[in-house]
Chains A and B, each alone.
Chain A
Amino acid sequence: AQSVTQPDIHITVSEGASLELRCNYSYGATPYLFWYVQSPGQGLQLLLKYFSGDTLVQGIKGFEAEFKRSQSSFNLRKPSVHWSDAAEYFCAVGVVQGAQKLVFGQGTRLTINP
């Protein structure tokens, strides 16, 4: 069955520091991978997605993610975080059979220290 694991429930970084959020997936075919951000009281906003091609994907708000098939990973990175990046981040894998749904990880809560 498809699954997504985000090993870090909560991460704290200082403003201006670099960030990496981990995501590992389990899927039997070529994965379609996503990162979403959810700010308090808000819906989910798509940061970036990987369908095929270049394994380094650029997204909005200065985020990027790298697909590594050998490690079944799709880690999210940002070189310098801003206080406004504090939010919950969700990694997801797209399932194309049947419902074509998204299977989400548990999320990583990011706190930014001033």
Chain B
Amino acid sequence: GAGVSQSPSNKVTEKGKDVELRCDPISGHTALYWYRQRLGQGLEFLIYFQGNSAPDKSGLPSDRFSAERTGESVSTLTIQRTQQEDSAVYLCASSFTGTPLTQYFGPGTRLTVL
């Protein structure tokens, strides 16, 4: 009965390194979303997974960003060659197929790129 979980909660990395962020959705939720929240900003949509369909990557800001999801379970967001502007909180959300817009959010991963 746990909610959406994300790991790590905090990540500090050096510019140019690759990072992986993990999201565990609520069990039974078929849809999974990644959002980015820069300091003092609202959330920006990054990518959407729905079941076994091809993901919607329309929000990814550059080809350094990619994400994978295995079936209807865990998702990993990867940022390659990190830049300082990638510093943000990365939030994951999941939802049921029938109510895709009612999204439940995880606590986020705070990424700091030095």
Residues of A participating in the B interface, judged by any CB pair closer than 8 Å: 4, 32, 34, 36, 41-46, 49, 90, 92, 94, 96, 98-107
Specify the main secondary structure of chain A where it touches its partner.
Answer: strand
Residues of B participating in the A interface, judged by any CB pair closer than 8 Å: 4, 31, 33, 35, 40-45, 48, 50, 56, 58-59, 91, 93, 100-108
Q: With A43-B108, A104-B42, A106-B41 in contact, is A49–B102 under 8 Å at CB? A: yes
Cβ contact within 8 Å between A42 and B107: yes
Residue in B40, B56, B108 whose beta carbon sits within 8 Å of that of A98 in the complex: B56
Q: With A43-B108, A44-B91, A98-B58 in contact, is A106–B42 under 8 Å at CB? A: yes
Residues of chain B with a CB closer than 8 A to A43's CB: 4, 91, 105-108
Residue in B43, B50, B100, B104 whose beta carbon sits within 8 Å of that of A46 in the complex: B104
